[in-house]
Amino acid sequence: DAGVTQSPTHLIKTRGQQVTLRCSPKSGHDTVSWYQQALGQGPQFIFQYYEEEERQRGNFPDRFSGHQFPNYSSELNVNALLLGDSALYLCASSFSGVEQFFGPGTRLTVL
Amino acid sequence: AQTVTQSQPEMSVQEAETVTLSCTYDTSESDYYLFWYKQPPSRQMILVIRQEAYKQQNATENRFSVNFQKAAKSFSLKISDSQLGDAAMYFCAYSPYSGGGADGLTFGKGTHLIIQP
């Protein structure tokens, strides 16, 4: 049973560019959450998608947007990248329960 | 807004001994969940243990147990018989109870646990 997968593993962008990160949830899961983890910090909740709609959102600007597809996979888009967007981006999935299963993350570096 | 505080940036323990990691939180909710997650150098966040606020009994999972003090808003993790594989960052996390499934988690800044052989 495949767990949560994320792609790419690592990418480098320059300020002002746009980036798209992808997440495939654990088999049977229908809810996807995204988190940003800056170096030396705990993860911060960005938003959560359920039934292709944004269900919850944390304190992040509109430059951060997302999408969920009918197969429950999800994308995180970040526009107009800033140096401060450099972080590990974690995806977590769940199904009608409290426990969230995390993926290995995507390391984004903004130069 | 809910906050989670981990006051120990780093802890060190001898292999086979017991260590306790501290966590306090602030919320106005009466129903919620608390979690301890482990993040090894591989970066994969792994759930160690969870506690439902309505349950008075402290959760246990093998060598891992918690001391949940609801009135004090304290949630500590005890690791017994520490093993080298326990070395990792440990994060305390909070989730409100919405009745509709998993909510966004609020994490503390983490405690780096070192196991001395």
* pLDDT band (50, 70, 90) for residue B8: very high
Tell me if A102 and B46 make a contact (CB, 8 A cut-off). Answer: yes
Q: Answer whether residue A100 shows pLDDT above 70.
A: yes
Backbone phi, then psi, for B85, in 5-degree steps? -70, -10
Per-residue pLDDT tens over the stretch A20-57: 999 999 999 999 999 999 999 999 999 999 999 999 99
Q: Answer whether residue B7 shows pLDDT above 90.
A: yes
CA A17 from chain center: how many Å?
Answer: 17
- Give the tokens for residue B95: 């989730």
Q: Compute the radius of gyration of chain B from its Cα atoms.
A: 14
Residues of B with CB under 8 A from a CB of A: 4, 33, 37, 42-47, 50, 91, 93, 95, 101-110
Q: Which residues of chain B have a CB within 8 Å of the CB of A56?
A: 103-104
Q: Which residues of chain B have a CB within 8 Å of the CB of A42?
A: 4, 91, 93, 107-110
Q: 3-state DSSP: chain A helix, strand, coil percent, rounded to 5?
A: 5, 50, 45
Name B13's Cβ contacts closer than 8 Å, sequence gap at least 6: B19, B79, B82, B113, B114, B115, B116
Q: Residue A21 and residue A107: Cα distance in Å, rounded?
A: 10
Name A28's Cβ contacts closer than 8 Å, sequence gap at least 6: A95
DSSP one-letter string for A5-18: EEE-SEEEE-TT--
Q: Answer whether residue B99 shows pLDDT above 70.
A: no
Per-residue pLDDT tens over the stretch B38-94: 999 888 899 999 999 999 899 999 999 999 999 999 999 999 999 999 999 999 999
* Chains A–B, number of C-beta pairs less than 8 Å apart: 64
Q: Answer whether residue B1 shows pLDDT above 80.
A: no
- Across A21-45, b (16+ Cβ under 10 Å) vs e yields bebbbbeebbbbbbbbbeeeebbbb
Q: Which residues of chain B have a CB within 8 Å of the CB of A98?
A: 33, 50, 95, 101-102
CA A4 from chain center: how many Å?
Answer: 11
How many C-beta atoms surround the C-beta of residue B4 within 10 A? 23
CA A110 from chain center: how many Å?
Answer: 16
Q: 3-state DSSP: chain B helix, strand, coil percent, rounded to 5?
A: 5, 50, 45
How many C-beta atoms surround the C-beta of residue A88 within 10 A? 20
